[in-house]
A and B are shown apart, each in its own frame.
Chain A
């Protein structure tokens, strides 16, 4: 199968790789060692492969790798500060007990990130709409909902603001 060169920005760094035309972004990212991006259903339903492309949430299993040519992709790995400090969203998920098996967590964190970028003080219904495309089978979502509210609060504080 023919491989095509692509180049894009991944978590702030330029990445060059070669992919087959039909390779999804999910499989390409995992081949690059970006393992926070998980495979759950591979048809855009579960949301555990959620990434940001130019700041907008996308299910990476529904995007072809070649489509991100020249664009910016952010994954959960990209939220950590250079010193390894957790992003306020990650801290909020921990504080609110919003993590159980953890398999949906990176996708949930990315969906939350995109929501709070565009709406720093989301209404309850906005939170539900933003996370409705991410399935969790462990928590019952109650703690996740609370974590999003807590994250919004942390990010409004001066010390959290820089993290956005």
Chain B
């Protein structure tokens, strides 16, 4: 769809109040734990608590005897297929006796009881007899294949890019740098843990209310586990207290466990995770170990790049193969390079399966590649901004997968703007002056420049579509239903803005409903920073049809030309006439039996892609960002503080500027936690940091005192009003900017994130490199 921009947009781009703000600020918003039904039972999970072993026996006899226990359900009670997994279904719903448990958080049984407390107590009384097997606990061990977790090789997924000839590129290089990097886990730490309520419904099927990012995933998963047709499974998203990818595929599992209880008891079943169960059993950001080799000319041109990256998939593949596609495409960074070779591998280990997390496999490699570019600029004596500028993508450039960029390439503009915003030259002088006068505190300035492929890309294009349903009621109120979900990012507000813009109704009269699979067809997942573009286009298309009908009707009623009819802020007018309130025109439309509902549908343009060579159109378009941070490192303790941050994002078009800014700020701070403090510690495959007392996410005290942002709007013709995506890139620029700043401050390269005080201190103490 080519979106011919309207002559002037009046709601798009303006400051509006979040449409869901009042319910949230008063505490009336209903999240999964706030939804109650008569005769509802409370569930708790029994997990393996061993990293690897054969499950010989599940003994629930002691637990059964507790007063208030209604049932303890195992693999024997799963009515349909005992399998889970959105991309690869290699995971049991409930591990069967005689089968192996493959990580600490493997789920074995579901307990249902009259209260949450009783359910939790009973879960603790279920005895599992597990014959322990040696466990595979890191990537290197997994690669040796001495213990094969799924029978075949642990290295089970491989993707590659072969562009140009890297050996030729290296032979021409004046400088070749090789290095190894490790990016560790990150826990989503949404403040609302996972939770669902599943109930047998009035359509003789099951309805789920839950904290859910991707309702259609839950629907298809539940239909398999229950053995129900999809038409008998309805998913209604409750308010969702943060997700960040952590509620992409996981709620399918959570809902499946609860559904087994609901099915067997024929009662509503609620399963709300305690934080510890959430951290032990649910996805994380993948640990990625990478080796980089890059060749540069002496004036800073990148001539060749070679990358191997190994991702720890944990015990089950879940979403890893698709996460790896994004790792692959982003591994060579945001630059125009003729010779590129990238190999990414997914390996099984006996640990919690990582999955989707804001950035989806790209932050790990962007940290590495931006560290490499920073190191090259240091060694070549080239200013870091100039270094990026020299290699940056422009209209007419080709990406690392040889995709020709023809429009909406705001990369250079983000660099220019961050240079200006941070007062780059003066900032560096200021920091140098500080360092001359300070022995134990050292400051550093770090720069990053990143690319983000918008939406699902070539390997996900078969599910890259979205529907919407828009209906105008007789009183003029408007129902907007989308297949994307609101999880805090502001999707509802963006959809309301688009509907108000197109229909001319007041924003306050537009209701964007909770996502419900009964109303809108499968719209793909709410991931990949795709909702503004995909759901947004679908809403816009539906509203345009309704608008045409309203314009025609008004022109007929007032004998004027359709071209002159204007709709805005609840009024419809033509030329100089006094106009008519929107609601009155709707009343006229109802009297004349005009159809006042429409479906909208938008699908991805077709992308040409060769998976053998990794060459082709990887994504429909790209967002870009550039970021500068100033850190101060305590050379005695290794502790790092971020003092200043400047970040500039090319978003195509900011439909809701306040929402874009919220993403930029929130993504930065989440990226800062990843870079510095969020250290997921494990012992024998068991996560030790299983709550917020040990897993440390940033507080209001940790944020930089100076925090400036800039927005570049290099419009994308396929996006609604030119919009691309901002959800993920907001985070992705931060880890490399911080790592580079620390490296500059201490004069040694940071090769591991999180760069905890212990790690930084070790690097400071290392002998010369």
Contacts and interface: CB of A to CB of B under 8 A. Distances in A.
Interface stretch (A35-43, A64-72, A156-164): A35-43
Which of A101, A127, A131, A138: most chain B CB closer than 10 A? A101
A112 B661 CA distance: 22
Interface in B649-683: 658-659, 661-662, 665-670
A35 B34 contact: yes
A119 B192 CA distance: 30
Nearest to B25: A90
18 contacts: A35-B30, A38-B241, A43-B691, A43-B692, A43-B693, A77-B26, A93-B21, A101-B242, A103-B488, A135-B697, A137-B189, A137-B190, A137-B242, A137-B670, A138-B488, A140-B666, A140-B668, A141-B700
B191 interface: yes
Nearest to A94: B21
3 A-B pairs with the lowest CB-CB distances in the bound complex, closest first = A36-B27, A101-B488, A102-B24
B18 interface: yes
B707 interface: yes
Contact of A46 (B117, B244, B666, B692): B692
Nearest to B657: A97
Interface of A: 27, 30, 35-43, 45-46, 48, 75-77, 80, 86, 90, 93-95, 97, 99-106, 109, 127-129, 131-145
Given A97-B659, A101-B243, A128-B701, 4 more contacts: A40-B192, A102-B24, A135-B191, A137-B189
Contact of A139 (B21, B30, B666): B666
Given A141-B703, A142-B707, A102 B275 contact: no
Given A40-B192, A97-B662, A102 B239 contact: yes
B489 interface: yes
B700 A128 contact: yes
Contact of B661 (A97, A105, A141, A144): A97
A59 to B, nearest CB: 12
B765 to A, nearest CB: 31
B88 interface: no
Contacts of A90: 25-26
A140 B693 contact: no
B700 A103 contact: no
B13 interface: no
Contacts of B659: 97
A102 B669 contact: no
B17 interface: yes
Contacts of B658: 97
Contacts of A46: 191, 692
Contacts of B117: 27
Nearest to A35: B34
Interface in B85-107: none
Given A35-B34, A94-B18, A103-B192, A137 B244 contact: yes
Contacts of A95: 17
B691 A45 contact: yes
A102 to B, nearest CB: 3
B439 interface: no
A164 to B, nearest CB: 17
Given A43-B692, A46-B692, A102-B488, A136 B191 contact: yes
A40 B669 CA distance: 19
Given A139-B666, A140-B665, A140-B666, A100 B193 contact: no
Contacts of B20: 99, 102
Contact of A135 (B26, B239, B487, B692): B692
B701 A132 contact: yes
Contacts of B490: 100
A97 B666 CA distance: 12
Contacts of B22: 86, 94
A100 B691 contact: no
Contacts of B614: none
Contact of A100 (B27, B189, B489, B693): B489
